[in-house]
Structure 1
Amino acid sequence: MADKETMKTSGNPNAFQSPMHKVWAIQMKVFLNVHKVWDTIDPGATDDDKNNIAIALIYQSIPEATIMQVGNLDSAKDIWNPIKTCNLGADRVKEARLQTLMNEFDGMRMKDTETIDEFVAKLSCTASKAASLGEMIKETKMAKKFLSSLPRKKFIQIVASRTNFGSQNCWV
């Protein structure tokens, strides 16, 4: 049975709700194999008892909203396919969002009109978004980004200190 972490769903109430982890299909394949009912999925055996067991096991691993969406399907294979397909699509969307976010992070620079607090808040917000997508931005990377993004005119002492001590790893 899947834990709460594997039960996360899309924020769109009209979207097909499914587990959001890549490992769901792997875990379920093992779980269905242990119960000797994987053959109802691949190749799609039609033994009624095995099919019912497989459906029950799948239902235990998915959120109620997903059950409502696939509840009219009669075979474990017919239930499995859209859940797995949606799961893969959700992972691709997540990866694309993370890639976009990291590109934004890499291109982030403090504007002359921004305060340090505003820029730090922007960096922290980006780090939080990355963490929610499964990517932790290390403190050293955050510090380097902060220091390298300061406007040189406005913060020349900090930038100069970073330059003078940077080779000695005083700032990282």
Structure 2
Amino acid sequence: MGYKKTIKTSGVSGSGNQDAFQSPMLTSTNYTVWAIRMKVLLNVHKFWDTIDPGATDNDKNNIAIALIYQSIWEATIMQVGNLESAKEIWNTIKTRNLGDDRVKEARLLTLMNEFDSMRMKETETIDEFVAKLSCTASKAASLGEMIKETKMVNKFLSSLP
């Protein structure tokens, strides 16, 4: 799993009143959770607008880039280091982790097949199984497919041992 780095932003214009926050590390398997956490962190410190819609304030852009760089591995930094805006870096990381439309479609199909074949194991608790279902629903949402609550409930009920 990834480790976390503490990033201090006190004294930075637009950083809010917080003195520090934990930055999640992006790994090969946690893009969806990483993106959610980074969006919240960038929002809290008033830097998300450099990504969406893509504000051009140079100081805010540089800080957003620095915060993103704190949460990615050196190899990824080398891949995006020539990009000049936080928005470009964010979109490149997103594309590399979610892929283009065909790849995204294939991942979604695989994920939905996994969802359909999920069964609660005798050794699993209800909370563990619900967490697996929720995780799958979150991954599907990140790929553009919302799993309806009724489908989740039906899956849960039909999957009990």
TM score, norm. by length of structure 2: 0.49
Hey, which of these two has a bigger chunk of helix by percent? Answer: 1
Query: What is the TM-score normalised by the length of structure 1?
Result: 0.47
More strand by share: 2
